[in-house]
């Protein structure tokens, strides 16, 4: 099972940690605020109160040698920078760091952040799709204007009939789905989506942004 750490549990970090907890992912969520850690502990098994600028504290809760770590610390730029530095020293690979300003982002990049994000400009659902490689969504460019999207059904799709999903997203077509280990190419429009079903959509690229904002 893939392990992803989320450091900083403000609104943005909390949403990411909660969203990842629904997937086949082990989530380590940390913050220095006891109340925030208590809140996220309802959704993740590994939630800790720590000072993320401390290498020892990070190592003690298992945040070392990880493939993906998301740093979502709020306004404390110094803590954000020191945390990224500590994560690099602990051999974490893809450090995705939230930045408040462009200067902050440039510093994070120079000290080792794999990717810098500006969450005010990116919806949280788009972030999960874009940044956590191959966890829930896979995109394939069929042509310059056509995309195929493969995704695991989430709470916004589960229990809906295929016909209802296609009516909601009129510019995308479900071309196949996988349920209970079996792929189905002959689409039953009255089939009701179940948890962990895999859906494959086909449509024009220009409509995918709206699609991601709703699922």
pLDDT of 132: 47
Contact 118, 101 (CB under 8 A): no
Within 8 A by CB and 6+ apart from 170, the residues are none
Percent of the residues in the chain that have a pLDDT greater than 90, as a whole number = 46
102-110 vs 77-89: helix axis angle to the nearest 10?
20
Contact 196, 177 (CB under 8 A): no
B/e letters for 38-69, b = 16+ CB within 10 Å, e = fewer, are: ebbeebbebbbebebbebebbeebebbebebb
**Average pLDDT estimate for 16-43:** 92
**Average pLDDT estimate for 105-131:** 73
**Average pLDDT estimate for 165-188:** 88
CATH number 3.40.50.150 is the correct assignment for the domain at 137-214: no
Q: pTM surpassing 0.95?
A: no
Contact 43, 20 (CB under 8 A): no
Contact 81, 55 (CB under 8 A): no
What's the mean pLDDT when you consider all of the chain?
A: 86
What would the CATH number be for the domain defined by 2-131? 3.40.50.720
124-131 vs 11-21: helix axis angle to the nearest 10?
50
- Between strands 2-7 and 68-71, the pairing is parallel
pLDDT of 203: 85
Least confident of 7-11, 26-30, 116-120: 116-120
pLDDT of 118: 80
Per-domain residue ranges for the chain?
2-131, 137-214
């Amino acid at each position: 099972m893939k392990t992803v750490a989320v450091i900083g549990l403000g609104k943005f970090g909390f949403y990411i940690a909660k969203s990842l907890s629904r997937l086949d992912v082990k989530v380590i969520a940390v913050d220095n605020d006891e109340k925030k850690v208590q809140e996220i502990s309802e959704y993740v098994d590994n939630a800790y109160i720590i000072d993320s600028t401390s290498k020892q504290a990070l190592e003690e809760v298992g945040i070392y040698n990880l493939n993906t770590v998301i740093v979502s610390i709020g306004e404390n730029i110094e803590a954000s920078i020191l945390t990224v530095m500590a994560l690099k020293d602990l051999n974490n690979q893809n450090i995705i760091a939230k930045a408040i300003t462009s200067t902050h982002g440039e510093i994070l990049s120079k000290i080792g952040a794999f990717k810098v994000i500006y969450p005010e400009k990116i919806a949280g659902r788009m972030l999960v799709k874009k940044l956590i490689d191959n966890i829930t969504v896979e995109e394939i460019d069929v042509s310059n204007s056509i995309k195929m999207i493969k995704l695991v059904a989430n709470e916004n799709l589960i229990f809906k009939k295929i016909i209802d999903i296609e009516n909601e997203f009129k510019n995308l077509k479900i071309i196949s789905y996988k349920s209970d280990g079996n792929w189905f190419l002959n689409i039953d429009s009255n089939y009701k989506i179940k948890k962990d079903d895999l859906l494959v959509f086909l449509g024009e690229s220009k409509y995918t942004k709206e699609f991601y904002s709703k699922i």
